[in-house]
Amino acid sequence: MRRLGTTALTAALALALTASATSATSSAAAPSAAPTSKADPFDAWTETVVDADQNLRGLVAVSRREAWVTGESLTDGGPARVYRTTDRGETWTDVSPDATEGLSFRDVEVSGGVAHVLAIGPGEASRIYRSTDGGTSWTEPFRNTDEAAFYDCMAFYPGGRKGLVVSDPVDGKLRILSTSDRGRTWSVLADRGMPRSAGEFGFAASGDCLVTAGKTAFLITGGKKSRVLRSDDRGLTWTAVRSGIPAGEAAGGFAGDFASPRRGIAVGGDFADPKDTTDNVAWTRDGRTWALGESLTHVGEDVSYLRGWRHAVATGDYDGSAGSSLTRDGGRTWTRVSRLGYHAIDCTAQVCWAAGSEGRVGRG
């Protein structure tokens, strides 16, 4: 029964996340650039609207030139879309699979030349699409048939051969789906090495509630417990510690990023009260213990390191709580650098990309 409750709660949250996009502030161009501080690798967004009917929560930055974004339609029953640019965001090509009406594409990964898109939701709404030709054609190597499962986030290990997807708890434990063949086939891992997680789940806010660094995978959770789970054996066994970000029905850690298996940042907040940003950042220097950083002044839906471990950008945009902030000290302190907020952010060594409400994409 608990697992039904959890599924319903998360499904409800997913709907809430979709609905909120319609009430988001309409897009506006980034304020004209202030004089650039050479010390900071990020200072402002340049924004374009790729498809105003899509709430974009999936994003992968492949390079300075190439990025992919994925979303869900703001029109009832409309198709979920996938867009790709290979010219620094000047043009975006619709590379969506067929028959995606009503789906929510909340995560995309490109690794080793293969693209993977995760559709989230209860039962058969959770699916994975795969393309080896840049989105020209797609296969569907996984469709969930377990009504108790609700997949949230996907991550691949370096090289792209092995990858994991996490589902909200089934029988009281987070469920892990695994591939060892570049996403051609997926199988559910045994849950013996997973701690119990009643009422704890991942948030499908930005596709980064599950992330990897080297051979280590991390899960950032919220709900009844707000924790970071760590696996050093490809998802078979996990250890859990509290992140310090406050737990709550729609609160906790929403996403994380790691510069290495030791250095990471988690961000979050409360989707039920997004203006309450108390203690919504945590950081680690050993990959095992977490300390709270200075709180962001906006909800934290995603975070991405830039170069090295000191600089990272956190962003979020939910129900009037929006902005982007830069840390220069690995997550301890933060400076808000833009009033523009997005659901997802991903930075390469040279550039940050962001994806958000009403088809807005930022580059900076």
Site for Ca ion, rule CB under 5 A: 107, 154-155, 207-208, 302, 344, 346
Which residues have a Cβ under 8 Å from the Cβ of 90 and sit 6 or more positions away? none
Which residues have a Cβ under 8 Å from the Cβ of 277 and sit 6 or more positions away? 269, 295, 296, 297, 298, 299, 300, 321
In the bound state with Ca ion, the residue whose beta carbon lies nearer, of 199 and 202, is 202
Which pair of structure tokens corresponds to residue 255?
Answer: 């996403």
In the bound state with Ca ion, the residue whose beta carbon lies nearer, of 3 and 80, is 80
Nearest residue (beta carbon) to Ca ion: 207
Closest among 128, 154, 122 to 235, alpha carbons compared:
154
In the bound state with Ca ion, the residue whose beta carbon lies nearer, of 295 and 348, is 348
In the bound state with Ca ion, the residue whose beta carbon lies nearer, of 3 and 116, is 116
- Beta carbon of residue 35, minimum distance to Ca ion (angstroms, whole number): 28
- Beta carbon of residue 5, minimum distance to Ca ion (angstroms, whole number): 26
- Beta carbon of residue 180, minimum distance to Ca ion (angstroms, whole number): 18
- Beta carbon of residue 206, minimum distance to Ca ion (angstroms, whole number): 5
- Beta carbon of residue 157, minimum distance to Ca ion (angstroms, whole number): 12
Which pair of structure tokens corresponds to residue 176?
Answer: 């892990």
- Beta carbon of residue 269, minimum distance to Ca ion (angstroms, whole number): 16
Handedness of CA 19, 107, 124, 236 (dihedral sign): negative
In the bound state with Ca ion, the residue whose beta carbon lies nearer, of 200 and 302, is 302
In the bound state with Ca ion, the residue whose beta carbon lies nearer, of 199 and 351, is 351
Closest among 290, 341, 334 to 311, alpha carbons compared:
334
